[in-house]
Structure 1
Amino acid sequence: MPLQIARLKSWLPSFIRFLPQTLILAVALAVVVSDVAAQETNRQPNAGQQNPSVVAVVNADPITRKTLGDRAVERYGVDVLDNIVNRHLIMQACQHNGITVTEAEVAAEVQRLAAKFGLSMDSYLKLLQEERDISPNQYSREIIWPMLALRRLVADQVQVTNEEFNRAFLAQFGEAVKCRLIMHESRTEADKILAAAKADPTQFGNLAKKFSQDEASASVGGLIPPIRRYSGDSRLEDAAFALEDGGVSELLQLGDQWIFLQAVRRLPAATPSAQAMPAIKEQITDRIRDEKMRSAATELFAKLQTEAQVVKVLGDEEKMRQYPGAAAIINGQQVTIAYVAEECISKHGEDVLEGEINRKLLMQALRASGKEVADQDIRAEIERAATSYGFVGKDGGPDVQAWMESVTADGKVSEPIYIADSVWPSVALTKLVEDNVQITQQDMQEGFEAAFGPRVEILAIVLSDQRSAQKIWEMARDNPTDDFFGKLAEQYSVEPVSASNMGKVPPIRKHSGQPAVEKEAFSLKPGDLSGIIATGGKYIILRCQGFTEPLVRDPASVQSELTRDLQEKKLRESMAAKIDELRKNAEIDNFFTASKKKTPRVAAKP
């Protein structure tokens, strides 16, 4: 199963890549069965008719589906509406061209793709859910249906010819030339290196190591992957295939770089077995078709957008007054806000509902404690955030305007949503815990030691099992030098930093959250070898190199800075603990998430 997961992870992005970026939005939430496309285009679902009116109850306080829809539209409505508009354009194109994609065809395509990975449909869909967070319903509706529909729409443009297949086959299995390469940005320097290479071809590898500016190949003497026909730049291929073994090419300009090659040896064409040929043919054909489809689909979709008559209402106050209840009008067909709300709920309902549940808990806790969040509290929190992130004006005060522009710069978060989702909860939690946050003398002492105290300079080896740790510890004990310890770390440590730096890791400080490691490290003297430290499922061996000098010796000189940092840290810890406590002690019935778990394996008719 791990092999299939790896293959699936590497394949899925390229599979979706056949859709141009604008079209990725267009296919979102497309229906599976096109023989109900006309019904889908005009269907405006009524949440009250099709779904329970209450999606969750928090301590006997209900959250309605209407509220969930409103909150989801506030956060995702504009993006989802774009998806819906684009989807309708594709649907209308299918209707205009008499294109139908049946449920059976969708299921057959899912089955075919699953078989490519040697998986059953159930296992394949489960992998998609676990590895890519794509539900079976979403996969069928948002990826498979539009892919099949687009194939039909541009079918006359994506047929794979015998010539195209043969060229692609040669690029993958044909004769190849193993080469070395030297690259340089200077024509003058490249000419000098080329002259040296032609004078003594046996030195080509050394010249590559010394002079080539292609770092990936220079470190291995200029060696590059074998060059095949029809796999890249034809000039490079012609130059490689024109060389005898050991021969050196003339200078070629690629972009702003100058390169030349040396042929190492010819590699004969591969001959796949007869049993493997059907799968290879399918793979190559799919790849060529998908490449052609990307281009054809981009052109088609651009044409649909250009020719469409779309009035976007949602988010435009004037148009919302003009077209009450409408989110958009697409070629004369109305999309209601209720429909957009249902689409938002379908894609983002769980996340939005979690936020609403937390909001309910915080409001209930505030009422119980007799506290409230006032406008001035909101302003103070925004100013605090601006200051903490370095948005400070010339007068030294917070530059709130610049901060808000930064928060909303990507267009994904509006100012009201930022306040509702980030500022208000932070203020509410602060109100609930601020009276309980106290800084003790011990906190000050530990904070000072952690931030400004001495650190232990060490070498470390991290092992994954105790048996290996015992073996390596004995080797380190018998040869007590930094150099030997570093070589052991390089060879055996499973921790990348210590393995790549001959055991050297960042100095260990007190109160860093690793008590077992800290206790052992601070007990060592320079040159000492630690015992085997078992922590977090790993086994650690340390060798002490000495101690750093304290950054600050007088705690009073940093008291205000330390107090502020500790206050912030303890406040954040208390806030996190408080929301966990509220959720743990609450009676929460989440009907929406429970119902989502009952979604059918493969999407059926909506």
Structure 2
Amino acid sequence: MAIRTRYRLQKICLLAACTAFSLLPNIASAQGNEGNTTVAVVNADPINRQMLADAALQRYGHSVLDNVIINRQLILQACQEKGVGISEQEVSEEIGRLATKFGFDVPTYLKLLKDERDIDPGRYSREIIWPMLALRKLVADQVEPTPEEFSQAMASEYGESIKCRIFVANTKEEAQKYLQQAQANPANFEDLVKQASVDEASASVGGLIPPIRRYTGDTRLEEAAFALKDGQISQILPIANQFVFLQAVGRIPAYTPPGEAMPAIRETITDRIRNKKLKVAASDLFEELQRKANLVKVLGNPELTKQHPGVAAIINGQPITLATVAAECVKRHGDEVLEGEINRKLLSHALRAASKTINQEDLNSEMARAAATYGFLKADGSTDLQGWVEYVTKENDTPYEIYLSDAVWPSVALRKLVEDKVTVTQEDLDRGFEGSYGKRVEILACVLSDQRTAQKIWQMARDNPSEEFFGRLAAQYSIEPVSASNSGKVPPIRKYSGQPALEREAFRLKPGELSGIVAVGDKYILLKCQGHTKPLVSDIEAVEPELRRDLTEKKFAIAMAQELDRLKANSEVENFFTAAKEIAKAVPAQQTR
């Protein structure tokens, strides 16, 4: 795709605009007042900001309104009611504090958030830091750690702990039987666990579990452990749906951190307690705010839309405009939605150039094809179109109109554009038949990461040609999970599977033979032939209709992907929206807040 951003002429203007909007993110998003400027041009056909906002609102309006804006507005109203305010300086200081806590400077921290979680600085400030600070102030009297909570947290982190072995049984009767054996011979506890405990993870190490500390989990387990002397065995404890008993191995004394480390430790523990309490208090506060709120959701309700034009919701008498919701949708999903709109224009232009159109019958046929592919059939064998549509729209939480627009229409468009180019030849049928129903090679495989190791293992396999020895080599050295866990056994290799080098080597082998080293990508593979399977079907005519249908769909899928790539490569697309965001990245992190 020829994307021309025209940086020389636009860079100064775009940089200034990005800086201005980033400095005032709340004003821009609240008013939705970003004009109706062009955000992209596709072969001289413009897409303006209003078109992008409408498309984003259609696809994400309900989700953004329900999960972001309503909650944020409820918090804002609660802050206004209680006279709570959050300044930009407080937001900046909190970001700085978190960056320091994780060992970064602020620009690096914000860049990491963008790169790893696709959260830009404005959104991070607006949607994460501001609500967190607001909730913290609203429930300040509920979240500050008490001296007792801090003391318990210190004990759980640095206090005395008990090293134990554990025996786990599925029934109380089994636990009782083995408890009696353990009490009769405490010195044999480790062997008893290995022989009879049902928890494989702990049984494999003689029942040893991480040291038990106070205030870290089940108080019954903690009390039982701390009541034991070395070598003593506890009574049976019901834990979840199992029954356990412990043997104390030894006590690990408490650790007293050095004085110079205490400020950082105190801050870390205080934050942990505060955040834990904040989750509970914030959840309770949200439930209370939502329970008491007078909420009227207009978006999606035709009758209410007539009564309140341009309004998405009314929260405690305060209207939230559609422009506000649309602006938030664009902030969150603009790139993705714009890409879809650009592709739609590319396809529309191509259809017009080819003098082809799409009607409802075409859309219904495509949906019926998808329904049949995924097995949505009625008792009489006909396609269950209604069942398919209900399933796919519910599964993806997508309105029917958006499903038609974003999934069905593009697929029909591409299919029409390549329908004259897709043919299934006799060679295709022969290869498809051989690959799907023909003879396969049963093998053992060992996959290595470097050639030197491969040569070493190949030499060992050649010197000891037994299948059992090759299986042990695969279990010990193969870096591929299936072959490593199954002593080299992997699914049989078939022809025309997309791995020609591997197929050639496998099909030339006779039973018992060892292959050479096969290089596939950055991996080195050894094969041990066990034999060949018999063909599943010998007559191609018996499966030709099904085979032809499958091959046709595969060739259509390849041709459609290639056609979309061709359209992108041969079109002129100017994406100002993405260009503006890219230039905004150059604005210092301090300004973007």
Show the 5 A alignment for 1:2-13. Answer: none
Amino acid at match of 2:316: N
In the other structure, the counterpart of 2:179 is: 194
User: 353, 361, 365: which is aligned to 1:380?
Assistant: 365
Matches within 5 A, 1:384-399: 384-399=369-384
Q: Distance in 1 between matches of 2:87 and 2:318?
A: 24
Equivalent residue letter for 1:281: R
Tell me what 1:584 maps to. 569
**Equivalent residue for 2:447?**
462
**Equivalent in 12, 27, 42 of residue 58 of structure 1:** 42
1:308 to 271, 289, 293: 293
Cα distance in 2 between the residues matched to 1:265 and 1:501: 40
Q: Which has the higher contact order (CA 8 A, sep 6+)?
A: 2
> Quick one: distance in 2 between partners of 1:117 and 1:164?
24
Q: How does 1:74-223 map to 2 (within 5 A)?
A: 74-82=58-66, 83-223=68-208
SS in 1 for 2:457: helix
Which residue of 1 is the match for residue 308 of structure 2?
323
Give the deviation of 1:271 after TM superposition.
Answer: 3.3
Do the aligned partners of 1:136 and 1:603 also contact (CA within 8 Å) in 2? Answer: no
Contact 2:165 2:248 in 1 (8 A): yes
Q: For 1:81 and 1:383, how far apart are their aligned partners in 2?
A: 33
Q: Which residue of 1 aligns with 2:460?
A: 475
Alpha-carbon deviation of 1:604? 5.9
Shift of 1:211: 3.0
What residue number does 1:227 align with?
Answer: 212
Q: For residues 498-513 of structure 1, what are the structure 2 equivalents within 5 Å? A: 498-513=483-498
Taking structure 1 as reference, are residues 207 and 537 closer, same or farther at Cα in structure 2, changes over 3 Å only? same
What is aligned with 2:34?
Answer: 47
Deviation at 1:102, TM superposition (A): 2.1
Task: Give, in whole Å, the separation in 2 of the partners of 1:455 and 1:476.
Answer: 23
**CA 1:304–1:604: 2 relative to 1, 3 Å:** farther
SS of structure 1 residue aligned to 2:84: coil
In structure 2, give the amino acid aligned to 1:559.
Answer: E
- Summarize the alignment of residues 156-555 of structure 1 with structure 2, pairs less than 5 Å apart: 156-410=141-395, 412-555=397-540
The CA distance in 2 between the partners of 1:196 and 1:562, in whole Å, is 64
What is the alpha-carbon distance in structure 1 between the residues aligned to residue 252 and residue 466 of structure 2? 48
1:208 alignment partner AA? V
Aligned alpha-carbon RMSD (Å): 2.1
Unaligned ranges ≥5, structure 2: 1-20
| Cα displacement (A) at 1:183 | 2.2
Query: What residue in structure 1 maps to residue 8 of structure 2?
Result: none
Greater shift, 193-202 or 416-425, is seen at 193-202
**Counterpart of 1:513 in 2: which secondary structure?**
coil
Distance 2:106 2:400 in 1: 44
C-alpha distance in 2, partners of 1:535/1:84? 51
The residue type equivalent to 1:544 in the other structure is C
CA positional deviation for 1:602: 4.0
How many percent identity over aligned positions? 58
Structure 1 residue 571 displacement after superposition: 0.8
Superposition deviation, residue 315 in structure 1 = 0.5
SS at match of 2:103: coil
Tell me, yes or no, if structure 1 residue 570 matches structure 2 residue 555: yes
How far is 1:411 from its partner? 6.8
- Count of aligned positions: 570
Query: One-letter code of the match for 1:124?
Result: Y
Q: Which amino acid aligns with 2:431?
A: E
**Does the 8 Å CA contact 2:106/2:589 hold for their aligned counterparts?**
no
Residues 302-353 of structure 1, C-alpha deviations (whole Å, 9 max, x = no match): 1211222222111000000111111112222222112211111111111111
1:479-498 deviations in Å (ceiling 9; x for gaps): 22222222222222221222
Q: Is the 8 A contact 1:532 1:539 kept in 2?
A: yes
State the AA in 2 paired with 1:54: T
CA contact (8 A) 1:137 1:603 kept: no
Give the secondary-structure state (helix, strand or coil) at the position aligned to 2:471.
helix
Deviation at 1:92, TM superposition (A): 1.4
- Asked if structure 1 preserves the Cα contact closer than 8 Å seen for 2:32 and 2:326, the reply is no
Which residue identity does 1:72 align to in structure 2? A
Q: Using the alignment, how far apart are the partners of 1:101 and 1:60 within structure 2?
A: 46
Tell me the distance in 1 between the aligned counterparts of 2:144 and 2:41.
Answer: 55
Look up the match of 1:14: none
Q: Distance in 1 between matches of 2:474 and 2:253?
A: 42
| 1: CA distance, partners of 2:148 / 2:170 | 37
One-letter amino acid matched to 1:522: F
Q: Which amino acid aligns with 1:285?
A: T
Q: Deviations over 1:418-458 (max 9, x none)?
A: 11111111111111111111111221111111111122122
Structure 1 residue 105 displacement after superposition: 2.2
Say whether the 8 Å CA contact 2:376–2:387 is kept in structure 1.
Answer: yes
275-284 or 297-306: which moved more? 275-284
Does the residue aligned with 1:435 lie in a helix, a strand or coil?
coil
Q: CA deviation at 1:157?
A: 0.8
Give the gaps of 5 or more residues in structure 1.
1-30
Deviates more, 1:262-271 or 1:436-445: 262-271
- Distance in 2, matches of 1:159 and 1:446, equals 70
Of residues 239-248 and 311-320 in structure 1, the stretch that sits farther from structure 2 once superposed is 239-248
